Amino acid sequence: MPNQHKVQEATRQLALTEAQRQAIDHRARFGLVWTLGAQAIMALIAVLLSGMIAGSAAAVSALVGAAAYFVPNALFALRLLLGLLGPARPSAYMFFWGEAFKLGTALAILGLAAWLAHDWIVWPALLAGLLSVLKGYVLLMAVRKLP
């Protein structure tokens, strides 16, 4: 019967006090805002470096690459923040669809860039912008502010 006891213990709900719930919500909001800030800083660095190294077309390309991930991510984070501030809690189902939205939107932005701007787009700069935003958490690790 030890397995049955483990199952019962695992299925019991975790009871949090209001103070604990508020502390978790505060940390979640703090983490979302810091992550978005780090991603914005990394995007700015990629745009500036691309512009200095390869010119204005590269800077715009890096901006498009950064926006391909930052814009959907910021919209999703805003939705999560609104869920944390409101009475209804974000669900795992909503999180799944938010991630799908981020991926689909990023692919759509990159597809539009390839289709509409194929004449002047600088692909290494676009990829640098995209990767810099994807790796924004590296900046948080460097300054020891990882949520």
Q: What confidence score (pLDDT) does residue 40 get?
A: 92
Quickly state the pLDDT bin for 22 (edges 50, 70, 90): low
Q: Measuring CA to CA, how many Å separate 56 from each of 98, 133, 134?
A: 33, 19, 22
Span 125-139, pLDDT tens digits: 999 999 999 888 778
Distance CA(89)–CA(119), nearest Å, equals 46
**Could you tell me what percent of the chain has a pLDDT over 70?**
76
- Decide if 132 contacts 46 (C-beta within 8 A): yes
Q: Which two tokens stand for residue 9?
A: 């213990």
List Cβ<8 Å contacts ≥24 apart for 49-56. Answer: 49/128, 50/122, 50/125, 50/128, 50/129, 54/122, 54/125
